Structure 1
Amino acid sequence: MTDTMWNYAPAADFTSGTDLTGWRVEATDGHIGKIDKHSSEVGAQYLVVDTGVWIFGKEVLLPAGTVTAVDLDNQTVRIGRTKDEIKNAPEFDKDKHLGSPDYHQQVGSHYAVHPGPRTPGTL
């Protein structure tokens, strides 16, 4: 199910209203970039991450359901996916992202197939 992909899990400890722009993003196996844009709109929560040189300056769209922790002190967001899982996700498309439920379904399905680690008691 991809519906929960577009909401922060309670265990991620995201506080609504926190501006994550510019924060570091860490996959399970290392740094992947910085947050360029984010949304905290219920049911449509996501991060757009600028990967810099890691994947040739591309941006990736990460549903909020991939976030495992928000570290306020270090301004770091941890993602429960590997670099390869993120790199192999559907390419970020700014135009499709803004108005295509099908695109969100495609991205959500990719991360649902690669569920990453689970925290006990969460989906």
Structure 2
Amino acid sequence: MLVASDKLKGAELMGIDQSVGSIHDLLFDDESWVIRHLVVDTGHWLPGRQILLPPPKIDASDWPAGTAKVPLTSQQVKDSPPVESDQPVSRQMEIQLYQHYDVPYYWGPAGATLAGSGYSPMPLGVGLMPVDPNIADQPERTHLRSVNEVVGYYIQGTDEEVGHVEGMLIDDTNWSIQQLIVDTRNWWPGKQVLLDREHVAGISWADATVSVSLSRDSIRSASEYDPTST
């Protein structure tokens, strides 16, 4: 099922004994375009706390109703490894999280056990930042990016700017990002179109820009986004 990112954000996660929070953000791998972590705000029962939750822990969902179930107790969530929202997610942190939630890693041989569920594993070593042997104590860093961050980025076509990222369509069976929702209001008022992720040529984090391999004319013929369909 394809779900718009704005429909996922804000969804309440119902645990075994109580609500454990709501989805605040989604972290995706900018190489594989797969959601790797849900950023969960624990709300009033655990004030000032956010946790990372592996998407395979979603047991059942009713996204139109804004709810999903997770087979977790509030104590399991409370005991989740702490996450600093302003710090990059290291591989060591991911290992601790996946061990805590008893979920196979999405990278390396263990990640292959997730292939049957459609959740894409990552080969060992892919997604790690290059290591400089001249610098000691470097953390292993993954290519994880925030959906909240990318929403609002400019879309640069092959000839000129064509709008900005309004959201993403995500397949909730394997948590892959399938399409970008693009708002073209600056030159084509009232239109939002869908661009397949295969057309993304690159992302410049410094310039807050997503480059695509399509011209403005090509984007005119792209499928129009209907919010009621997701």
Q: Same fold (TM over 0.5)?
A: yes
Q: Which residue of 1 aligns with 2:92?
A: 102
| Offset at residue 32 of structure 1 (A) | 1.6
Unaligned runs of 5+ in 2: 104-115, 118-230
Q: Does residue 49 of structure 2 align to residue 58 of structure 1? A: yes
| Offset at residue 86 of structure 1 (A) | 0.9
C-alpha distance in 1 between matches for 2:43 and 2:36: 22
Q: Which residue of 1 aligns with 2:17?
A: 29
Letter in 2 for 1:25: L
Letter in 2 for 1:108: Y
Paired residues of 2:40 and 2:52 also in contact (CA < 8 A): yes
For residues 90-121 of structure 1, give each alpha carbon's deviation from its aligned partner in whole angstroms, at most 9, with x where no partner exists: 0122245x3411111111111118xxxxxxx9
1:75 to 44, 62, 66: 66
Q: Which residue of 1 aligns with 2:162?
A: none
Q: Does residue 80 of structure 2 align to residue 92 of structure 1? A: no
> If the length of structure 1 is used for normalisation, what is the TM-score?
0.68
Letter in 1 for 2:60: A
Percent identity of paired positions between Structure 1 and Structure 2: 31
Unaligned runs of 5+ in 1: 1-13, 114-120
Higher strand residue share? 2
Tell me the matched-pair count. Answer: 100
Q: Which residue of 1 aligns with 2:197?
A: none
C-alpha distance in 1 between matches for 2:42 and 2:20: 6
